[in-house]
Amino acid sequence: SGVSSAYSTALAARRRSYGPNTSLSYEQPLMIVRGHGTYLYDDQGVQYLDCINNVSHVGHANAEVAASASAQLHTLNTNSRYLHPDLPLYTELLLSTLNSTSDKSLHSGNKGSSAGGCSDISDGCGSGGGNCSRGGYSGSNTRRSSSSSNVTFPGIQPQSQPQCQQQQQSQPPSSSPTISQPNLEVLYLVCSGSEANDLALRIIAAARPGATHIAVMGGAYHGHTSALIQVSPYKFWGQGGTGRQPHVHVVPCPDPYRGDNLDGRAAARAALAAAARAGGQLGAFLCESVLSCGGQVVLPQGYLKELYDELRSAGVLLVADEVQCGFGRCGRAFWGFQTQGVAPDIVTMGKPIGNGYPLAALATTRELAAAFSAPGMEYFNTYGGSTAAVAAGLAVLRVIQRDGLQHHAQRVGEFILSGLRRLRATYEVVGDVRGLGLFLGIEIVRDKASKRHAPATARWLKERMKARRVLLSTDGPYDNVLKIKPPLVFGIREAEMLLGQLSEVLERELTADVLHQLNQREDEVWASVYGPRYLQYRENERMLYSGLPHARL
């Protein structure tokens, strides 16, 4: 399609004067000027189905979040050095969601005002669009494995469940055992996921001063600061990366599809031993509860529990990075770690927390907060915990709760997954389909027998879907996983659009000729980029599990 002069000007200016190593999605980038619910619109008014943006959690341009933040900006936006009633309110509310390893957090909600203009969710569950009134939230506080005190917004009564929840007959399996572990009782508000993880590193250093080594998951990304690049194999073993630092140990990422690295206990022991061999001691293990950049990997049931148990008994601190998978996205629980039945010492949050307003958080125990505070240095963050950010955060929690978005994610996610399973049964390149709630991945392979990663085919599929106005992305260490992580207001109608278009691309466009060309391209990219990376990961595994020292990776 032809492009406007505004498009050409924006593209030229972007290339001329904006950071050259920032990326634009797609071979021909899109100029998006408006969003609503789970749709985006370009400058020509063309509508795209957004299946990727997990920041716009309660919908693009959500009216309630915008109104809350904007009203606060018109009243006051200042830092956390003054008291304000909303900061402790938000703090307690957010903390109340964390201290439960059961799958119950934020389950039942108040009936949404979804009839009146809140119709982003196409199958009648309502959403945060339109003219929703300032609703409320009541979370259950299940600290110490009991459910007792409720945190409520003033004047908000719990009501019946939204329609979509009533329709859902079967509750998700409550597979998580009850455990009494660290209570996350202290919150810090910051501005980005990177800031939250960077703060986690500082807390670890304060609490475990002698234990300077850290273990992370293969393929993980934790942020863009210098310190976080060092703990992000996605970056240090990725394009332009400078390799692993000696104090960082990479736990080989479980690959349930290929049956590799599934033993959490063995992984923990190997990481402890690797740190000892390198002359150090492990202070912390930093890991996403469901892996995102690592390729939308759902850890095997019990994996994280075994790993946590083993590491905790060695005094290692456990950090759950929930920047991508938190806030109900996984459907069966509000937090990813709750799906694994574990209790981290530190939880970091970001992306969806403010629906795009810069806000992020770190929750930890009183003991760790005390260790961090002990030297007496003030922690100050100019925008972290600012009044407007808190207003945005409160609105997001309110909408998730009122509109039952966690359950909605579970239901729509299962619908998508069953459609994807049908595609997997039919098409050779659809190797694996997986995920929790609205956090899904499709692993694209050469063929089902070899399970060889097929990044060129994955990228081609992404481009063909874009031509059909459906936006997906690719990721994973071999960039061969199509990611689906849309705003949670994604409904059954949107799921049908996604599945229908994908099925047509596979059926009509991926002809034998096209596949032949793609396979030639696969050989090229494997030889130049992904093959060496694959060998790096394999060498790391060998080194870790054999106990051998290794050359610098």
- Give the binding range for ligand PMP (CB under 6 A) out of 12-20, 215-223, 460-468, 536-544: 215-223
197 binds ligand PMP (CB under 6 A): yes
Are 417 and 502 in contact by the 8 Å Cβ rule? The answer is: no
Closest contact distance (angstroms) between CB of 373 and ligand PMP is: 24
Residue 428 CB burial class (10 angstroms; 0-12, 13-18, ≥19): middle
- Taking CB atoms, the residue at the shortest distance from ligand PMP is 193
Which one of 53, 192, 296, 338 is in contact with ligand PMP (CB under 6 A)?
192
Are 310 and 356 in contact by the 8 Å Cβ rule? The answer is: no
How many CB atoms sit inside 10 A of residue 75's CB? 10
Q: Per residue, what are the HEC states of 43-90?
A: CCCCEEEECCCCCCCCCECCHHHHHHHHHHHHHCCCCCCCCCCHHHHH
Nearer to ligand PMP, 284 or 456 (CB): 284
How many CB atoms sit inside 10 A of residue 437's CB? 30
Q: Classify 61 in phi/psi space as left (phi over 0), alpha (psi -120 to 50) or beta.
A: left
Beta bridge partners, 150, equal 140
Closest contact distance (angstroms) between CB of 55 and ligand PMP is: 9
Closest contact distance (angstroms) between CB of 322 and ligand PMP is: 8
- Give the binding range for ligand PMP (CB under 6 A) out of 11-19, 140-148, 288-296, 400-408: 288-296
Alpha carbon dihedral 119, 173, 422, 488, in 10-degree steps, equals 30
Closest contact distance (angstroms) between CB of 219 and ligand PMP is: 11
Beta bridge partners, 249, equal 215
245-248: Cβ within 8 A, 24+ apart: 246/278, 246/280, 247/212, 247/213, 247/214, 247/275, 247/278, 247/280, 248/213, 248/214, 248/215, 248/216
Which one of 99, 183, 324, 339 is in contact with ligand PMP (CB under 6 A)?
324
Per-residue binding letters, 436-475, with ligand PMP (x by CB under 6 A): ----------------------------------------
Closest contact distance (angstroms) between CB of 351 and ligand PMP is: 6
The owner of tokens 């874009």 is 466
Which one of 106, 204, 267, 323 is in contact with ligand PMP (CB under 6 A)?
323
Nearer to ligand PMP, 110 or 194 (CB): 194
Which one of 103, 321, 479, 494 is in contact with ligand PMP (CB under 6 A)?
321
292 binds ligand PMP (CB under 6 A): yes
Closest contact distance (angstroms) between CB of 477 and ligand PMP is: 14
Are 117 and 130 in contact by the 8 Å Cβ rule? The answer is: yes
Closest contact distance (angstroms) between CB of 193 and ligand PMP is: 2
How far is residue 472 from each of residues 88, 111, 461, measured CA to CA in Å?
A: 38, 32, 9
Closest contact distance (angstroms) between CB of 188 and ligand PMP is: 15
Closest contact distance (angstroms) between CB of 337 and ligand PMP is: 13
365 binds ligand PMP (CB under 6 A): no
Residues 6+ away with beta carbon under 8 Å from 393: 90, 94, 189, 353, 354, 357, 359
Are 464 and 381 in contact by the 8 Å Cβ rule? The answer is: no
- Give the binding range for ligand PMP (CB under 6 A) out of 153-161, 309-317, 320-328, 385-393: 320-328
Nearer to ligand PMP, 332 or 483 (CB): 483
Residues 221 to 250 in contact with ligand PMP, rule: CB under 6 A: 221-224
Nearer to ligand PMP, 59 or 223 (CB): 223
Residue 193 CB burial class (10 angstroms; 0-12, 13-18, ≥19): buried
Nearer to ligand PMP, 193 or 441 (CB): 193
DSSP string, 438-476: TEEEEEEBS-TTT--B-HHHHHHHHHHHHHTTEE-EEES
The count of chain residues that interact with ligand PMP, using the rule CB under 6 A, is: 15
Which one of 255, 288, 345, 479 is in contact with ligand PMP (CB under 6 A)?
288
How many angstroms separate the CA atoms of 411 and 164, rounded?
9
Closest contact distance (angstroms) between CB of 227 and ligand PMP is: 12
Nearer to ligand PMP, 221 or 335 (CB): 221
Helix (H, G, I), strand (E, B) or coil at 311: helix
Nearer to ligand PMP, 325 or 397 (CB): 325
What is the Cα gyration radius of the chain?
Answer: 23
Beta bridge partners, 434, equal 441
Sign, Cα dihedral of 72, 75, 78, 83: negative
Tokens of 511: 């002809």
Alpha carbon dihedral 389, 47, 417, 297, in 10-degree steps, equals -50
How many angstroms separate the CA atoms of 424 and 449, rounded?
13
- Give the binding range for ligand PMP (CB under 6 A) out of 265-273, 317-325, 458-466, 469-477: 317-325
194 binds ligand PMP (CB under 6 A): yes
Nearer to ligand PMP, 68 or 194 (CB): 194
Per-residue binding letters, 470-509, with ligand PMP (x by CB under 6 A): ----------------------------------------
Beta bridge partners, 187, equal 363
410 binds ligand PMP (CB under 6 A): no
Which one of 35, 135, 172, 193 is in contact with ligand PMP (CB under 6 A)?
193
Closest contact distance (angstroms) between CB of 197 and ligand PMP is: 6
Nearer to ligand PMP, 284 or 543 (CB): 284
Nearer to ligand PMP, 22 or 148 (CB): 22
Closest contact distance (angstroms) between CB of 232 and ligand PMP is: 8
Nearer to ligand PMP, 352 or 455 (CB): 352
Q: Which residues bind ligand PMP (CB under 6 A)?
A: 192-194, 197, 221-224, 288, 292-293, 321, 323-324, 350
